[in-house]
């Protein structure tokens, strides 16, 4: 089997946010082969990511066998090294890598979860991300909930944030998990202060309180925060996660498989984290791409609800009673009617 084409488009997502998550949003990558099989994956980077796929990565992959995914990943990384390593180039590689895994599953007539050593059908618990406490008053049942505080995160709003977290715990009761997302907008000092104030509310983690580059700050938090620290959503490649893991800067690691380098890198991150005794909880894990890994590799599975605007990815498993599972369909178990997709670009 040989690769005959590598394509990329950016479909329109219903109610996609009017910010970088659309202008540099998720792209669909398709890899065609001479066997008639096409593999699909999702990466990021919008038009910039599409350009990387259609030029550097396509030129590299044409005529190659898609079977040795690890070798192809290394070649893609090396081919983008001068301008890549993090960010848009790795987002583009992620989509290609996931398409290669889809091809592998389709060629072997098994779902990706089986390629990873797991079994389809396992019921996995989910948690739901909300942007305000009002959403918690009428939300479906989940194992946990994450309150996103990115819109109320400056120093003058500290009391408001603490009150919102207390309100969230009151609304959901004592049993469900409760997490807080600071979206890289807090400081070391405010994180420590808030963590101590919210500790009585049984908070499972504070997510991304600092910039991903503030490793010294995260080292301080790992010692002084009263609540476990999570992060990694905006980190790229297993190599970058090595420092987070070796220094145990995060208790919970949250790679996004569509951004961090794809399934090939997510597998490495899981292995390193397991050896270090740390937890992996992939960003937006209920989306099909990470869900297969959670089902196969995670000793404590927990899947975050997906991006609600990714409406063009049809046929993903539905959450039912707070649980979700992957099917036994080959690859990711999805099909795409490319001709019917409305495109951003």
For residues 138 and 99, membership in a common domain is answered with no
Q: Quote the pLDDT of residue 154.
A: 74
Tell me how far apart the alpha carbons of residues 274 and 172 are, in angstroms, rounded to a whole number: 31
Residue 255's Cβ-side half-sphere holds a number of Cα atoms within 13 Å equal to 37
Residue-number span of the structural domain to which 90 is assigned = 3-109
Farthest CA pair distance, the chain: 61
Q: Which of 88, 109, 130 is the last residue of a domain?
A: 109
Indicate whether 334 belongs to any domain: no
80 within a domain of the structure (yes/no): yes
Give the pLDDT of residue 283: 98
Domain limit, last residue, from 109, 137, 156: 109
Looking at the fold, whether 179 and 196 belong to one and the same domain comes out as yes
Q: Please state, rounded to an integer, the average pLDDT across all residues of the chain.
A: 96
Residue located via tokens 């959670």? 294
Q: Are residues 279 and 211 in the same domain?
A: yes
251/135 same-domain check: yes
The DSSP result for 215-281, as a single string, is HHHHHHHHHH-SS-EEE-TT--HHHHHHHHHHTT--SEE---TTTTT-HHHHHHHHHHHHHHT-EE-
How far out from the chain centre does Cα 217 lie? 23
CB 301 within 8 A of CB 119: no
Q: pLDDT for 13-25, tens place per residue? A: 999 999 999 999 9
**Same domain assignment for residues 89 and 133:** no
- Does 185 lie in the same domain as 254? yes
Confidence (pTM): 0.97
Just list the catalytic residues.
Answer: 283
* Strand 205-207 relative to strand 177-181, pairing: parallel
Judgement on whether residues 180 and 305 belong to the same structural domain of the protein: yes
Mean pLDDT of 157-186: 95
- Contact criterion met (CB below 8 Å) for 235 and 266: no
Is residue 153's pLDDT more than 70? no
In terms of DSSP bridges, do strands 323-324 and 124-130 run parallel, antiparallel, or are they unpaired?
A: antiparallel
Q: Which of 109, 126, 146 is the last residue of a domain?
A: 109
Tokens 């500290």 — which residue?
Answer: 158
Mean pLDDT of 43-65: 98
Going by C-alpha positions, the residue among 295, 282, 267, 274 that lies closest to residue 113 is 295
CA distance 106 to 169: 44
- Residue-wise pLDDT for 202-245, tens only, equals 999 999 999 999 999 999 999 999 999 999 999 999 999 999 99
CATH number for the domain spanning 233: value is 3.20.20.120
In a domain, 282, yes or no: yes
Q: CA-to-CA distance for 29 and 277, rounded, in angstroms?
A: 34
Residue 202 located in a structural domain: yes
Q: What percent of the chain clears pLDDT 70, i.e. is strictly above it?
A: 99
223 occurs within a structural domain? yes
CB 48 within 8 A of CB 135: no
Selection from 252, 15, 63, 195 nearest residue 75 by Cα: 63
Same-domain status, 164 and 313: yes
Q: Are residues 81 and 156 in the same domain?
A: no
* 145 within a domain of the structure (yes/no): yes
* 339, part of any domain: no
Is the distance from CB of 32 to CB of 38 less than 8 angstroms?
yes
3-state secondary structure at position 14: coil
Length of the chain as a residue count? 345
In a domain, 336, yes or no: no
Please state the rounded mean pLDDT for residues 247-270.
Answer: 98
Q: How far is CA 271 from CA 22, 85, 92, 210, 267, in A?
A: 32, 21, 23, 25, 6
267 in the same domain as 216? yes
Residue 156's pLDDT is: 75
Counted domains in the chain: 2
Q: What is the CATH number of the domain that holds 75?
A: 3.30.390.10
């Amino acid at each position: 089997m040989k690769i005959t084409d590598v394509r990329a488009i950016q479909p329109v997502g219903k109610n996609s946010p009017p910010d970088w998550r659309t202008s540099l949003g998720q792209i669909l990558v398709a890899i065609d082969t001479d066997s008639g099989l096409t593999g699909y994956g999702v990466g990021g980077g919008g038009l910039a990511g599409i350009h990387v796929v259609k030029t550097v990565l396509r030129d590299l992959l044409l005529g190659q066998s898609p079977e040795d995914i690890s070798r192809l990943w290394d070649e893609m990384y090396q081919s983008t090294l001068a301008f890549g390593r993090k960010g848009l180039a790795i987002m583009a590689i992620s989509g290609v890598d996931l398409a290669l895994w889809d091809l592998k599953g389709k060629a072997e007539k098994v779902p990706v979860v089986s390629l990873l050593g797991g079994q389809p059908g396992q019921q996995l618990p989910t948690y739901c991300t909300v942007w305000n406490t009002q959403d918690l008053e009428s939300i479906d049942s989940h194992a946990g909930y994450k309150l996103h505080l990115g819109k109320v995160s400056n120093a003058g709003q500290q009391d408001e944030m603490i009150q919102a977290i207390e309100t969230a715990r009151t609304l959901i009761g004592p049993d469900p998990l409760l997490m807080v997302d600071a979206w890289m907008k807090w400081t070391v000092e405010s994180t420590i202060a808030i963590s101590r104030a919210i500790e009585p509310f049984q908070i499972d983690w504070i997510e991304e309180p600092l910039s991903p580059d503030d490793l010294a700050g995260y080292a301080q938090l790992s010692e002084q925060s009263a609540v476990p620290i999570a992060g990694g959503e905006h980190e790229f490649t297993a190599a970058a996660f090595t420092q987070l893991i070796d220094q145990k800067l995060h208790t919970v690691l949250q790679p996004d498989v569509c951004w961090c380098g794809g399934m090939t890198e997510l597998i490495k991150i899981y292995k390193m984290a397991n050896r270090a005794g740390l937890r992996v909880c992939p960003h937006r894990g209920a989306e099909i791409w990470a869900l297969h890994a959670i089902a196969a590799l995670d000793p404590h599975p927990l899947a975050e609800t997906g991006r609600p605007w990714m409406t063009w990815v049809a046929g993903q498993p539905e959450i039912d009673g707070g649980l979700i599972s992957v099917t036994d369909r080959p690859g990711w178990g999805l099909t795409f009617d490319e001709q019917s997709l409305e495109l951003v670009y």
